[in-house]
Copies of this chain bind each other. A is one copy, B any other.
């Protein structure tokens, strides 16, 4: 079922926002919605890519798993975001796996239908390219952070990211399980836990999934401090 909230999300999503209502209706209907319980695998890496997805609610992680079973979380998407657009162009296979990390609802949009729409409405192409560019930038950011920041700095940086525009003293809640955040940041749960303990003297307090920062400026200075100084 497509609720009013769902429509609101479709209308604000970067990719579909510019589509006239009639075109949108041609692309999606209530059968396109998938409800996923926690742990449900939307697709495996290597599966044929016949659709891309728009998050209506919940959280889905994209990850790579190697033969030995170790997992690398590439990104976690929440309501309003879209993912796997790129797979439409990559020889038809998903290069990552997608799994719901909490109960979620996603809208599935067929690649073929979308391709046809794009051909007839170039402005969607721009929207898609913009979306892919953002994904690209997120990944570049992630690579930079993995290479240049310590575990403590990555954790601090992650918390800062959660503050959004807010500065000064901020209270916030962690969006995912800690072990999932740890993986996203490229470290083990134990290291994450210790990192939290170590940055406590920067005025960062975490209990359960509630966190508080005494002064974002202090944390920012810590993140920007490079290794040698």
Contact = CB atoms under 8 A, between A and B. Distances in A.
Nearest to A119: B122
B144 A64 contact: yes
A69 B146 contact: no
B139 A96 contact: no
Interface stretch (A2-10, A101-109, A163-171, A221-229): A221-229
Interface string A54-77: 000000000010111110101000
B227 A68 contact: yes
Contacts of A118: 122, 125-126
Contacts of A129: 85-86, 88-89, 125, 128-129, 132
A130 to B, nearest CB: 4
Interface residues of A, number: 47
A227 B188 CA distance: 14
A86 B137 contact: yes
A89 B8 CA distance: 24
A182 B68 CA distance: 25
Interface string A87-131: 111100001100000000000000000010011001001101110
A162 interface: no
Given A74-B143, A86-B133, 9 more contacts: A68-B227, A68-B228, A70-B226, A86-B132, A86-B137, A89-B126, A89-B134, A115-B126, A143-B146
Interface of A: 64, 66-70, 72, 74, 85-90, 95-96, 115, 118-119, 122, 125-126, 128-130, 132-137, 139-144, 146-148, 186, 224-229
